[in-house]
Structure 1
Amino acid sequence: MLSLLFKFFVFVHAIYAYNTPPRQVSFAGTNLAGFDFGNKQDGSVVASEIVELTGPSHGTALPVLEQMHHFISQGLNTFRLPVAWQYLVNYQLDGKLNATGNFGVYDKLVKGCLDAGAAMCIIDVHNYARWNGYIVGQSGSAADRPENRHLGSLWWQLAAWYKDEKRVAFDIMNEPHDLDVGMWAETVQWAVNSIRNATGSNEHIILVPGTDFCSAGSFTRMSSEALMKVKNSDGGTDNLASTPQIFNLHKYLDHDASGTNFECTTNNIDSTFAPLAKWLRANNRRAMLTETGGGPNAESCLKYLCEQNDFINANADVYLGVVGWGAGGFDPAWVPRYNLTETPIQEGNELCDQELVKKCIVGKFRGVTGSGSYVAP
């Protein structure tokens, strides 16, 4: 009798497991780089290196709109759209967005993302918390020095332009580094206030970046205390800090966490994502991994990135999503000399994914179902 009961229990458990989908993050996709090409870590930009993905010359990679539709067809739903600050405002620190100028070209990329059916289109100002060598809000008030009000003005304009499209998320700044993190939190607060005032609501997701290049590994040690003080302009934290907290994280898998090596050496679980998940739960916060990746054909990267993404899926209560780096302007032919290419490969009339994308991004996140104006479970 006990044997029959045991078999029945195993049978029922098997049916339940088969019919119950595994836990999964809400958002997943890839970066579509190009408008950020030429950005340097000191916040300067070489204008001639920018690839206008939606301009008359989109580089040598596949047209970006084709890439978007391909990734959407593969069950992904998120694109991060890096762009140089200088490009958006026509290289004037006090510049305005011009729909008939550079911003109009970039806006086609955002609209293409929305038209492709993405659940989240992330505007990423890719300037390392700097403008032409000077740290925002930490370099004085000379005419060529970026103050908090300058970044606030940029984000007010962007938020006002996209205020009616809740699927647009705002990534305040790519990879701040080597700065006073307390002062940086004040700069972030300026940007948050500007966005919330422009949209008139707390519905848009804002991605809040820490120092050390948005490192997930050092976040609790170097950034969390300062960024926990950032609030919405009404003093609350919806879609910003708690229910859910959207801290912006980057993490690569090579030996120095730089993403510049072809081989991966870690899945980042024990060193980073497990302790960080514990901290996020304890503090009622959430985070999103907006850059990660590895060599597209390296067995070590296939192993470790898949393991990392399995863990993030299993902890989707605190990890909102994953965005790989990167597709867009990266030509698949660059694979022998650039290790992070996720651009699909044209084979006849079909687009085929890089092996890493096929197994560790599409393979782990196919069918993500998040919506742009996110409400915590």
Structure 2
Amino acid sequence: MPDSLRVRSACFSPLPRRAGAIGLAMLLSCGSLHAEPNDLCFRGVNLSGAEYGEADGVEGVNFTYPSASTVSYFAAKGFDTVRLPFKWERLQPSLGGPLDLVELDRLKTSVAGLRAKGLSVILDPHNFGYYSGSQIGSADVPSRQFAQFWIRLAAEFANQEGIAFGLMNEPHDIAPTVWLEAANMAIAGIRTIGAGNLILVPGTHWSGVVTWEQDFGRGSNASVMLSVVDPLDRYAFEVHQYMDKDLSGTHEACVNVDLAVDGMNKLSDWLRAHGKRAFLGEFGGSSEPQCLEGLTRMTQAIADNPDVWLGWTYWAGGDWWAEDEGNNIQPTDKGDRQQLSSLIPALNPEAQDRGWCVMNSAR
């Protein structure tokens, strides 16, 4: 391995539990080192299902984790990462209390199955910045309780190869400064217990690419989230972007491809200017020609800027998706979904040794 990749391997691999002062000093010196050209850490898919239903729902009736056949399908296609959504309230039924052992076992079993197929896993509490209807940072859900949740969860997966921590899915209607405080408390808690895993930090306003620099009256993500603090500097911003009329991913027609791609390119410039990195945690489109073109252009926008992008995970697959759901890429009895014609060329299974990656999933 070239010396440059050896340095990156130290910067972007999980911290050993007993790294010592020398190891910690090396990690703290890594700063904003960039990736080798044409190589990304993540080319993956969201496998939805475990976030479904009410907190007291029944597995197999109200929610489901990815089946072995679904995992095998996407691994065989060349996807290397799964973003795994789950429900916070089900994993921690009482705010501030212990994790539910039954649900934790389900989560661990699912993660083990994904890792057995060589897939990296991004843990995703899919709660939009809320717990039981109350906002993180409110009197009902203080930021310290969000941090305590992550301390408990991180302890279960600390320094495991191929596991990243996505702090929260799409916080919204939360002031950026309030969300920043919660995110920083969670990051501090994760690092305090010795977990060196990559942390993916969203902004507010659904963490949209196009809106990253927009101020909705309480500060923009671009200004506020520059104050994220991670003593290991092993984090990236998680952003999402769709291409339909309201950028929500809920409509079949992709009428805003140019807007989305332009937003990706502008964000690349912003990341580079500030020495930051990002990950596209959700994007998607229907099988309409405009959408297929858009998927190609969005993955290419990331491939063209590998110094500031860690990669992407498409939204979505999953065993319970309706066949007529526009963004769905779960296979049917008819075969592969059309969107794969745009995604598979971007998977690049012949990529060079990715030892510098945070996930190190190719080894």
Same fold, TM exceeding 0.5? yes
RMSD: 2.4
1:124-203 mapped onto 2 (5 Å cutoff):
124-137=124-137, 139-140=138-139, 145-198=140-193, 200-201=194-195, 203=196
Could you report, residue by residue, the CA deviation over 1:36-72 in whole angstroms, capped at 9, with x for unpaired residues? 113xxxxxx4644x7x4xx69976x9x6222222222
> 2:75 is matched with which residue?
72
> What is the aligned length?
316
Distance 1:46 1:299, change over 3 A: farther
1:276 matches 2:278: no
User: Structure 1 vs Structure 2: percent identity of aligned residues?
Assistant: 29
TM-score by length of 2: 0.81
Which protein is bigger by CA-based radius of gyration? 1
Contact 1:76 1:366 in 2 (8 A): no
Structure 1 residue 220: Cα displacement: 2.7
> 1:94 is matched with which residue?
96
Secondary structure, counterpart of 2:239 in structure 1: strand
CA distance in 2, matches of 1:262, 1:46: 30
> 1:15 is matched with which residue?
none
Structure 1 residue 364: Cα displacement: 1.2
- Relative contact order, CA 8 A, sep 6+: which one is greater? 2
Distance 1:227 1:166, change over 3 A: farther
Contact 1:124 1:173 in 2 (8 A): yes
Distance 1:191 1:162, change over 3 A: same
Secondary structure, counterpart of 2:213 in structure 1: helix
CA distance in 1, matches of 2:185, 2:224: 14
Counterpart amino acid of 1:226?
V
1:215 matches 2:208: yes
Distance 1:237 1:282, change over 3 A: farther
CA distance in 1, matches of 2:358, 2:277: 15
Could you report, residue by residue, the CA deviation over 1:122-148 in whole angstroms, capped at 9, with x for unpaired residues? 0001111111221111x22xxxx1111
CA distance in 1, matches of 2:301, 2:39: 10
Counterpart amino acid of 1:212?
H
CA distance in 2, matches of 1:58, 1:281: 40
Could you report, residue by residue, the CA deviation over 1:92-133 in whole angstroms, capped at 9, with x for unpaired residues? 11221243x122112211111111111x20000111111122
1:188-337 mapped onto 2 (5 Å cutoff):
188-198=183-193, 200-201=194-195, 203-221=196-214, 222-232=220-230, 236-240=231-235, 246-267=236-257, 268=259, 271-295=262-286, 297-331=287-321, 334-336=322-324
